[in-house]
Amino acid sequence: MGLSTDRIVNNQASTLEHLLCSICHEILWHPVTCGTCEHSFCETCLNQWFQHQKRCPNTCEYQQRARVPHLLTQLLSQLKVTCKNTINGCTEIILYEALEKHEETCPYEIKKCQGCLKSILKQNADQYELQCEHVEIFCINCQATYRRRDTHNAIVCLRNQMKNQNDLFELKLTSLENELKRQTELLINIDQQQKALIGHLDKQSRLAEGK
Ligand SMILES: [Zn+2]
Ligand SMILES: [Zn+2]
Ligand SMILES: [Zn+2]
Ligand SMILES: [Zn+2]
Ligand SMILES: [Zn+2]
């Protein structure tokens, strides 16, 4: 998709006409040019087009031009554009080429609060999330995650810590028990091997005596 012509501030209809993508009829955005007919399109528009069509939208054999025509790049770079977050209060007017960078960091971008998922301005987000009761907090003392509105006083925290210790202790105990079981089995095994060996030796000496 291209940029809506409404967003161009230094609007000269006669120039804009040459800067339109013939697929979306908006101002070219990340343009690519057909080397055969020299028409330009937004890259995303053309990619979508080729999902259903084989030929250039201008019906010719599409071959991508190595570079977009210089004049086109120049005309585009002279455009002054309003930010996409104008409706949220951003008053910036940005040059076409700097637009993408601005919009990536625009403080008037809307984001969702991590806690309650309400839409808020990015520039207020830190402050807002510091107060939101639904934001999850991680306690380094007891390793628990809780919501800010939940009670996490010293008693709750200590109880968690004790439970963690207990779990750890149980875990160690289980592993010790397993180790003990393994050792016992090993001993039984050795014992059986020894008995078998003695039995075998006895048999041999009896055979020798029998001769
Ligand atoms: Zn387009
Ligand atoms: Zn073409
Ligand atoms: Zn902005
Ligand atoms: Zn919130
Ligand atoms: Zn805690």
Ligand 1 centroid, distance to 11 Cα (angstroms): 18
> Hey, which CATH number is domain 5-82, 3.40.50.1390, 3.30.40.10, 3.30.200.20, 3.90.550.10?
3.30.40.10
Would you say 27 and 4 are in contact if contact means Cβ atoms under 8 Å apart? Answer: yes
User: According to the model, what pLDDT value does residue 210 have?
Assistant: 78
d(CA 116, ligand 4 centre) in Å: 4
Residues with CB under 5 A from ligand 2 (ion): 34, 36-37, 56, 58, 60
pLDDT at 144: 94
CA 23 / ligand 2 centre spacing (Å): 12
26: phi then psi, degrees, rounded to nearest 5:
-120, 175
> Which tens digit of pLDDT belongs to each residue from 168-178?
999 999 999 99
pLDDT of residue 10: 87
> One-letter amino acid identity for 61?
E
Alpha carbon 83 to chain centroid, angstroms: 25
- pLDDT tens by residue, 56-96: 999 999 999 999 999 999 999 999 999 999 999 999 999 99
List beta partners, residue 112.
119
Which tokens go with 29?
A: 């955005």
Q: What is the pLDDT of residue 14?
A: 73
Cβ atoms of residues 65 and 73 within 8 Å: no
Which parts of the chain sit beneath pLDDT 70?
211
Tell me the three state secondary structure of residue 209: helix
